[in-house]
Chains A and B, each alone.
Chain A
Amino acid sequence: MLPELSTTVCFILSGVLFTIGAVGAILRRNVIVVFMCIELMLNAVNLVFIAAANTLASMDGSVFVFFIMTVAAVEAAVGLAIFVMVFRQRNTIDPYEIDLLKG
């Protein structure tokens, strides 16, 4: 059974967004922007859930998205706190300068 076009568009869109987010996360040299890219990836996931829920006439997807958003919020809080902590110590949040641990 082929889905509606809108669903397909949403799946494609989610794939594109996920990729943009993933690539952005490895290319941008600002930890905050990296984090934003990760948020974008989460949104791509949300899109899949919503679209699938819509197609399958199930609300579980929406519920899951709710939890994802909760988690995203928590991650944002903790993550930004961590960035601030790092910045205080190192005065930079360029991921290429945060390399004390390696090898």
Chain B
Amino acid sequence: MADYIWLIPFFPLAGFLFNSAFGGRLSKSAVSWVACLAIFCSFIAAALVFAEFLRLPGAGRVFEMDLYPWITSGQFQVAIGFRLDALSVIMCLVVTGVGFLIHVYSVGYMHDDPGFKRFFLYLNLFVFMMLLLVTGNNLLVMFVGWEGVGLCSYLLIGFWYEKDSASDAGKKAFIVNRVGDFGFLIGIFLLFVSLGMKGVWTLNFAQIGQHAQLLDGPLVTIITLLFFVGAVGKSAQIPLYVWLPDAMEGPTPVSSLIHAATMVTAGVYMIARLNFLYRMAPDTLLVVATIGVLTAFFAASIGFAQNDIKKILAYSTISQLGFMFIAMGVGAYAAGIFHLMTHAFFKGLLFLGAGSVMHAMSGELDMRNMGGLREKTPVTYWTFLIACLAIAGIPGFSGFFSKDEILWKAFSASQGYLLIWGLAALTAGMTAFYMFRLLFGTFHGTCRASDEVKHHIHESPRVMTVPLVILAALSLVGGYVGVPHVLGGSNAIEQFLAPVFGQGAPAPAQPQTAFGFVSTAWASGGAAGHESSLEMLLMALSVAIALVGIFLAYLFYVKNPALPGRFTASFAGLHRWVENKYFVDELYERVFVRGVQRLGAFLLKVADGWIIEGAINGTADALQRLAGRLRRVETGYVQEYAFAIIVGAIVVVAYLVVIPMF
């Protein structure tokens, strides 16, 4: 079976190639069938592997194969190779599963779009790249997928290329990601070269894992930080999150698939994949956790003041990704992956729901022009509600289990910190607030849309609602694979992932490092013990926070709709900042975009123009001027020519006779 794992990414590629070759001649539905079928095949294949894994003992749950040697240059030898283990198979299932649903949904959603076929081409390509990313057995194949999904993201964000905002957003996404890739690439180089200097020339995950102990601490810290820079870019963390909200310019299924469920989690996956390195670099983990929690909080705060439903979801995604990074940062890799999975369900669902709303509202996105959709689009409403509950962390829904696991780990793990937990918990409440603000604003109250729009409001077709329902079901039950021990579950997912992450065991002793004193100081308050009572207490606390958030939202947007206005009026300054996303985009625009442009203009004018060209043209001009002057010596007067001869004679005589005499 191991020899056939390359088929998993191959199916979508085949779909892509088939459609690009023959798509032009096929009907729309045929194209969409091929596309969906390709993904479904992948899903089946992944599921088969998963089933196989369940039969195998923990240690044997690794399939690895090299397809063919890719780049070979001296000691640098990299193959196109694949690796399926517990981690990647889960990722595969999520990607293909959610991906399949979204494909199906898209058949309905994109039905009238002129770029229908192109859309499915991109989607298939994307799934291929994503699968490459998660199944690659070495860093370079992963990087291929990494860049590939970036490309697809670029293409899909700019899908409606005629809209300037869309193509701008695509470009922004790509470039910001490239900033991250810069770190990622350097990380790869540094890792390869440092290992190479110890005699191990490899980029293969397994081999790196084997030989990771050859590297010394500071080096690992630097390498992991560099990788994290890549993750920050791809997973839209501070300071590189700015592309994700803009990415909502893409068609909504894209937002759902790429910018919520799969691609943006690639950073999380990468850290999980390289957990053996991160484990060796506690300082990096601290940075990861800090960035994660700050992003979570920061994005959530922006989510408060947005009115565009997709933007809110985008910030929420950023925020949730922050949670995953908290998990990574505190060493709770399994919890992070768990949250990744549940997040894929409910956030995918939320976006699809938003898409359904747009479908109903003739493309309207501004929450202020919605309201009261509950009756007209019941399926959307109910599925949306389930997703909101899941994301808010209401017990029983999937988000509850995964998020609480993270919070608990943040509190309890040896790398966990009270401050991080506190901020994360607060953010969880905020999440509940703005998600319900969204829910209430969209589905409750009176409809604020124009009459014409109002007239058209209708529930989406079956092909769209069925995926919604399936995802809703997953959002409901998806959490039960990771029911913690304290609630009587077995935390199946953590166990399943154990071969990859070890038994969730934290790194033994914290080496003293530069950050050492800080982390000890932070850690002093946390991790008091593992008593289940404490865990229960914290769980209750977080549920309470979530409920408070929901209540506040209810208060503000259902009970007393005037309140928000008054509230914003009294905090006008703060609101302005939040509403404008703290002017970060403007800052970046001013510093980087215009900075580079100004530098470029300067260089073009001064360096190229004045200095280099100046020197060259100056020489040419000087020659021309000299030539003009020499030409004027040639006066045409014969006696002056004779004069020159005499002068020449004098010089020659002087040189040959007079000067040697002295």
| B639 A95 Cβ-Cβ under 8 A | yes
Measured as residues with beta carbon below 8 angstroms from the partner, the interface class of chain A is 10 to 19
Q: Is A52's beta carbon under 8 Å from chain B? A: no
Q: Tell me which residues across on chain B come within 8 A of A95, comparing CB atoms.
A: 637-639
Q: A103-B631, A103-B632 are in contact. Are A22 and B646 (CB under 8 A)?
A: yes
Q: How far is the CA of A34 from the CA of B646 in the complex (A)?
A: 15
Contact with B along A26-37 (1 / 0, CB 8 A): 110000001000
| B639 A27 Cβ-Cβ under 8 A | yes
Q: Tell me which residues across on chain B come within 8 A of A26, comparing CB atoms.
A: 639-640, 642-643, 646
Q: Is B531's beta carbon under 8 Å from chain A? A: no
Q: How far is the CA of A25 from the CA of B642 in the complex (A)?
A: 8
Q: Is B451's beta carbon under 8 Å from chain A? A: no
Chain A residue at minimum C-beta to C-beta distance from B638: A95
Q: Is B60's beta carbon under 8 Å from chain A? A: no
| A100 B636 Cβ-Cβ under 8 A | yes
Q: Tell me which residues across on chain A come within 8 A of B646, comparing CB atoms.
A: 22-23, 26
| B635 A99 Cβ-Cβ under 8 A | yes
Q: Which A residues, 77 to 102, have Cβ-Cβ distances below 8 Å to chain B?
A: 95-96, 98-102
Q: How far is the CA of A102 from the CA of B638 in the complex (A)?
A: 10
| B636 A99 Cβ-Cβ under 8 A | yes
Contact with A along B611-653 (1 / 0, CB 8 A): 0000000000000000000011011111110110010000000
Q: Which of A25, A26, A95 has the most CB atoms of chain B within a 10 A radius of its CB? A: A26
Total number of residue pairs linking A and B with CB closer than 8 Å: 32
Chain A residue at minimum C-beta to C-beta distance from B643: A26
Chain B residue at minimum C-beta to C-beta distance from A102: B636
Q: Tell me which residues across on chain A come within 8 A of B638, comparing CB atoms.
A: 95, 98
Q: Tell me which residues across on chain B come within 8 A of A103, comparing CB atoms.
A: 631-632, 634, 636
* A96: min CB distance to chain B, Å: 6
Q: Tell me which residues across on chain B come within 8 A of A34, comparing CB atoms.
A: 639
Interface size on B, residues (CB 8 A): 12
* B627: min CB distance to chain A, Å: 11
Q: Tell me which residues across on chain A come within 8 A of B640, comparing CB atoms.
A: 26
| B635 A102 Cβ-Cβ under 8 A | yes
| A96 B637 Cβ-Cβ under 8 A | yes
Interface of A is mostly: loop
Q: How far is the CA of A27 from the CA of B639 in the complex (A)?
A: 7
* B653: min CB distance to chain A, Å: 11
* A33: min CB distance to chain B, Å: 11
Q: How far is the CA of A98 from the CA of B641 in the complex (A)?
A: 13
| B634 A102 Cβ-Cβ under 8 A | yes
Q: Which of B631, B632, B634, B637 has the most CB atoms of chain A within a 10 A radius of its CB? A: B637
Q: How far is the CA of A102 from the CA of B637 in the complex (A)?
A: 8
Q: Which A residues, 1 to 54, have Cβ-Cβ distances below 8 Å to chain B?
A: 22-23, 25-27, 34
Chain A residue at minimum C-beta to C-beta distance from B646: A22
Q: Tell me which residues across on chain A come within 8 A of B631, comparing CB atoms.
A: 103
Q: How far is the CA of A75 from the CA of B634 in the complex (A)?
A: 26
Q: Tell me which residues across on chain A come within 8 A of B639, comparing CB atoms.
A: 25-27, 34, 95-96
Q: How far is the CA of A43 from the CA of B643 in the complex (A)?
A: 20
Chain B residue at minimum C-beta to C-beta distance from A96: B637
Q: Tell me which residues across on chain A come within 8 A of B643, comparing CB atoms.
A: 26
Q: Tell me which residues across on chain B come within 8 A of A100, comparing CB atoms.
A: 636
* A73: min CB distance to chain B, Å: 22
Chain B residue at minimum C-beta to C-beta distance from A100: B636
Q: Tell me which residues across on chain A come within 8 A of B635, comparing CB atoms.
A: 99, 102
Q: Tell me which residues across on chain A come within 8 A of B642, comparing CB atoms.
A: 22, 25-26
* B633: min CB distance to chain A, Å: 9
Q: Tell me which residues across on chain A come within 8 A of B637, comparing CB atoms.
A: 95-96, 99, 102
* A100: min CB distance to chain B, Å: 7
* A32: min CB distance to chain B, Å: 13
Q: How far is the CA of A42 from the CA of B638 in the complex (A)?
A: 19
Q: How far is the CA of A100 from the CA of B634 in the complex (A)?
A: 12
Q: How far is the CA of A23 from the CA of B634 in the complex (A)?
A: 20
Q: Which B residues, 518 to 540, have Cβ-Cβ distances below 8 Å to chain A?
A: none
Chain A residue at minimum C-beta to C-beta distance from B635: A102
* A58: min CB distance to chain B, Å: 24
Chain B residue at minimum C-beta to C-beta distance from A99: B636
Q: Which B residues, 8 to 67, have Cβ-Cβ distances below 8 Å to chain A?
A: none
Q: Tell me which residues across on chain B come within 8 A of A27, comparing CB atoms.
A: 639
* B486: min CB distance to chain A, Å: 103
Q: How far is the CA of A98 from the CA of B642 in the complex (A)?
A: 14
Chain B residue at minimum C-beta to C-beta distance from A28: B639
Chain B residue at minimum C-beta to C-beta distance from A29: B639
8 contacts between A and B (CB under 8 A): A96-B637, A99-B635, A99-B637, A102-B635, A102-B636, A103-B631, A103-B632, A103-B634
* Chain B residues within 8 Å of A, Cβ to Cβ: 631-632, 634-640, 642-643, 646
What 4 A-B pairs come out closest when comparing CB atoms? A102-B636, A99-B636, A26-B639, A26-B643
* Chain A residues within 8 Å of B, Cβ to Cβ: 22-23, 25-27, 34, 95-96, 98-103
Given contacts A25-B639, A103-B634, 16 further A-B contacts (CB under 8 A): A22-B642, A26-B639, A26-B640, A26-B642, A26-B643, A26-B646, A27-B639, A95-B639, A96-B639, A99-B636, A99-B637, A100-B636, A102-B635, A102-B637, A103-B631, A103-B632
